Structure 1
Amino acid sequence: MRSGEAFLVEKHDISSIQSISLMSFSRDRLKRYEQSKRSPMLAVGDPVYSVGPLPEKPSAGIDALRGASDGPAERLIWPNLPGAAKELSGLATLFELKVGDSLFSGADASEATVRRLQDEGRLQRYRYVVFSTHGYLDQKNPDLSGIVLSQTNLGQFKDGYLRASELSAFDFRSDLVFISACETGVGKWVSGEGILGLPFALYAGGNASTILTLWPVLDGSTAEFVERFFRKLKDGKLPGVALSETKREFVVDDDKTRRQPAVWAPFVYYGD
């Protein structure tokens, strides 16, 4: 969005809210969570989506390739995300993340892993939670939108997805969940409640604020964007301020590609 000759974010720090009532509840959560002893971050990403060559079809929308049908419904084939590995590497250095404790990637970036952390009560122990994955968007039924985790070695009755309806029953105690994936902030608007889908589900699951995306993001540049944002957060900036400042840096970046709104504009902050 432009204001005159400049983008609005060049002059203002921008935040979104689900509703006035949820903004008040979010503030209360942040105050309560400050009293908890938590580790800085949990990062889950760079899942294993494919172990062989993908069909030669163009990706579109949610970056999925529609594969051969296993039955009445088409199977979605997800390409691997090389940029996610770079993103996790930067966050691991920044927050001293430990593999198997606060960092899960590859085959361990799985539905089973996140469910185990939930069952063990460990999702409550992190201030920031990052998912660097694909996002699945269901426009007709927002409860089915979700995070796409590893698609290999799936157990019985597991599809590798964490859907909004499932995440709402989880037990986060996080100040911020950052979902670095495509179209995770899109959902159905309901008066008085805001955007249904992942934004509302994560709030229902105990999270205080969220950063999501409004359209497909680019795998390569997203890693740099996420690292710059969290560096500011670590330095004490508020999430809405840190996100807006990161966007401004990209607007004036020497790299022409990074200056494009398609790179930095999809990210939105839901919180106070």
Structure 2
Amino acid sequence: MIKNSKQYFPYLITKLVPAFIILTTVTATYSSALANNKSHIFQNKITFKQTTTKQIAKPLMKQFSKSSEALNTEQIKQVAKQQNATIVQYSIIADESVVNGKTEAQESELYTWVIKPTGDVQFRKVDLKALGEIEKNSFLNLFRRHRRNLGARSEVTKGVKLEYNPKKKISSTDLQKLHQVLIKPIADLLPQKPDEQLIFIPQGELFSVPFAALQDEEGKYLIEKHTISTAPSVQILDLLYQRKNKGKGEQSFIPTNITGNELLIVGNPTAPKIPFKTGKEICKVPPLPGAEKEAKNIAEMFQAQPLIGNAATETAIVKKMPQARIIHLATYTLPNNCVEENSPGVIALASSERDDGWLKTEEIQNLNLKADLVVLASCDTALGKITGDGVIGLSRAFLGAGADSVIGSLWAVDDMTTAYLITELYGNLRKNTDKAGALRQAMLETMKKYPNPQDWAAFTLIGLF
């Protein structure tokens, strides 16, 4: 945190929790409308009903005079047309049941909408109760087991030390079961060409699904068939698009035209001098040699000067951020409260006389950025607190501050394999590949050398592709 900076309300990064029972979300508003009458899918306008959701959306909404208006059917179709992408929206429907005298929510159905750029809207549903009887387990418990195997932070891993294990392979059975529920029912509606854009808008815990690694019966990963990105909601996707056009017009993102001053590359900063929280092992900042190598490789590609070690101070980085069109942060991240199972909310940078080196989410979201892309090449950076408006964490803070898109990770990533994947990502961007396409090609190249999905499938693109 920079000294003398204005203090804002606490920005809580808490453990991932099942949020599928809260049907006041953007997704579930028209999910429940469809449940009552499937012939009027989007007749009810999408609205932000929860106070917390309004607060979360404010950093994006305040920039548009009409941003508080809900999206109707035609507007939702228009978003898909503007993006020239197929949008897939999920919603888990829950029933209440009494278990041991207590009322609990049990997932009953998965609703999925597919909105094509042509304006065509299709609906499919999966009976999760029937699936649970076959599997002898609920769908969300299957998903949580998969998350534990990845070493990802969540409520259900509380008290269990999670570490990256390169020898531990992800169960292909789990990936195929997730594919069977989330992808197979809509496979015939998805784009036929691999370079056509596919945007997933999940709900609740589904925001932490590694869609790229979902595997069909033939063993083919979804990323081999599609170019994938995610978004918090249809409305936020539209707001990002409006904001970009308002600020940059139709100016394309062409990395080869970016100058040194527009590229901020940070790798392996020196640990802050003042501990974030004394006595907490997780709050100790280790050196990241792979991150330094990664930053130097990227800087060489773009003929730029990276900020490494003592030069990567919080003050220097925050000063450069508003001018940067690409922000790359290969750093160590940690939770606000240093509780291991919680998601990151603080970025560790070198400290100086003007700052303490700890860049927090509340500081990030109040910056004024123009970045086309922010890459958070650290552990769990796409995770955060699950709310009715998606995942609230580091990635959302950068989107709210002005970034068009963020690439973050869904679990603890290895320093060296990440350096390989991210270097491939920027190599593809240098060839004028779009952001989602560049990430896809990087994953395909990385899986040749590191076939374990744990090594190549952690990163996801959030926002505009």
Q: Do structure 1's residue 26 and structure 2's residue 240 form an aligned pair?
A: yes
Superposition TM-score, scaled by structure 2 size: 0.47
| Paired position in structure 1 for 2:106 | none
- Is the contact made by 1:211 and 1:268 (CA closer than 8 Å) also made in structure 2? yes
1:147 aligns with 2:347: yes
- Per mean C-alpha deviation after superposition, the further-off stretch among 14-23 and 134-143 is 134-143
Contact 1:137/1:184 (8 A) holds in 2: no
| Preserved contact between residue 267 and residue 329 of structure 2 (Cα < 8 Å) | yes
Q: CA deviation at 1:107?
A: 0.8
CA distance in 1, matches of 2:432, 2:335: 33
Distance (whole Å) between structure 1 residues aligned to residue 304 and residue 345 of structure 2: 28
Q: For 2:431, which of 225, 230, 235 is the aligned residue?
A: 235
Give the conservation status (yes or no) of the 8 Å contact 2:407–2:460: yes
Amino acid at match of 2:376: I
Q: How much does 1:43 deviate?
A: 0.6
Structure 1 residue 123 corresponds to structure 2 residue 321? yes
Higher relative contact order, chain-length normalized (CA < 8 Å, sep 6+)? 1
Q: Which residue number in structure 2 is paired with residue 265 of structure 1? A: 457
Partners of 2:461 and 2:392 in 1: how far apart?
15
Equivalent position of 1:83 in the other structure: 290
Q: Indicate yes or no: 2:368 matched with 1:171.
A: yes
In structure 2, the CA distance between the partners of 1:232 and 1:77, relative to structure 1 (3 Å rule), is same
Question: Which residue of 156, 161, 167 maps to 2:358?
Answer: 161
User: Which residue in 1 is equivalent to 2:170?
Assistant: none
The SS at the match of 1:9 is helix
- Pick the aligned partner of 1:216 from 395, 403, 412: 412
Contact 1:129 1:176 in 2 (8 A): yes
Q: Would you say the 8 A contact 1:45–1:131 is kept in 2?
A: yes
1:50 is displaced (CA, Å) by 8.6
Structure 1 counterpart of 2:309: 106
Instruction: For 1:211 and 1:235, locate their aligned partners in 2 and report how far apart those are by CA, in whole Å.
Output: 18
- Equivalent position amino acid for 2:429 in 1: L
Bigger Rg over Cα: 2
> Judging changes above 3 Å, is the alpha-carbon distance between structure 1 residues 170 and 212 closer, same or farther for their aligned structure 2 residues?
same
1:176 maps to a residue whose letter is L
Residue 26 and residue 234 in structure 1: after superposition, are their counterparts in 2 closer, same or farther (change >3 A)? farther
Question: Which consecutive residues of structure 1, in runs of 5 or more, have no partner in the other structure?
Answer: 52-65
For 1:198 and 1:243, locate their aligned partners in 2 and report how far apart those are by CA, in whole Å. Answer: 19
Change (3 A) 1:29 1:183: same
- Quote how far apart the aligned CAs of 1:125 are: 2.0
Superposition deviation, residue 159 in structure 1: 3.6
Sequence identity (%): 26
Cα distance in 1, alignment partners of residues 369 and 343 from structure 2: 18
| Structure 1 counterpart SS, 2:369 | coil
The correspondence for 1:96, drawn from 297, 303, 312, is 303
Contact 1:142 1:197 in 2 (8 A): no
2:385 and 2:391 in contact (8 A); partners too: yes
User: What is the RMSD computed on CA atoms of the aligned residues?
Assistant: 3.0
Question: Distance between the aligned counterparts of 2:360 and 2:336, measured in 1?
Answer: 10
1:46/1:84 contact within 8 Å kept:
yes
Structure-1 separation of matches of 2:421 and 2:446: 8
Q: Relative to structure 1, is the Cα distance of residues 216 and 7 closer, same or farther in structure 2, using a 3 angstrom cutoff?
A: same
**In the alignment, residue 307 of structure 2 is paired with which amino acid?**
F
Post-superposition Cα deviations, 1:162-187, rounded to whole Å, max 9, x if no partner, equal 11111000111000100111111111
Structure 2 unaligned residues grouped into runs of 5+: 1-213
Q: Which amino acid aligns with 1:19?
A: S
Are residues 169 and 143 of structure 1, via their aligned partners in 2, closer, same or farther at CA, if it must alter by over 3 Å? farther
Quick check: 1:136 aligned with 2:346? no
Deviations 1:213-251 (A, max 9, x none): 111111111112111101111211111111112111222
Whether the 8 Å contact between 1:41 and 1:126 is mirrored in structure 2 is yes
Residue 68 of structure 1: CA displacement? 6.2
Q: Which range is displaced more, 122-131 or 141-150?
A: 141-150
Change over 3 Å in CA distance of 1:207–1:67 after alignment to 2:
closer
Offset, 1:211: 0.2
Deviation, structure 1 residue 124: 2.8
Q: Cα 1:244–1:165, aligned 2, differ >3 Å: closer, same or farther?
A: same
Letter in 2 for 1:6: K
- Tell me, in whole angstroms, the C-alpha distance in 2 between the residues paired with 1:82 and 1:142: 25
Using the alignment, how far apart are the partners of 2:300 and 2:238 within structure 1? 34
CA distance in 1, matches of 2:242, 2:323: 18
Matched residues in 2 for 1:144 and 1:130: separation?
17
8 A Cα contact 1:144 1:164, kept in partner: no
CA contact (8 A) 2:368 2:402 kept: yes
2:264 & 2:346 partners in 1: Cα distance? 18
Deviations 1:137-183 (Å, cap 9, x if unpaired)?
35889897121112xx5547x44221111100011100010011111
SS of residue in 1 equivalent to 2:315: helix
Contact kept, 8 Å, 1:67 with 1:74, in 2: the verdict is: no
Q: TM-score, normalised by structure 1?
A: 0.78
Moved more, 73-82 or 159-168: 73-82
- Cα distance in 2 for residues equivalent to 1:144 and 1:46: 17
Per-residue CA deviations over 1:171-212 (Å, capped at 9, x if unaligned) read: 110001001111111111211x21101121111111110000
Asked if 2 retains the 8 angstrom alpha-carbon contact of 1:164 and 1:201, the reply is yes
Give the SS at the match of 1:15.
strand
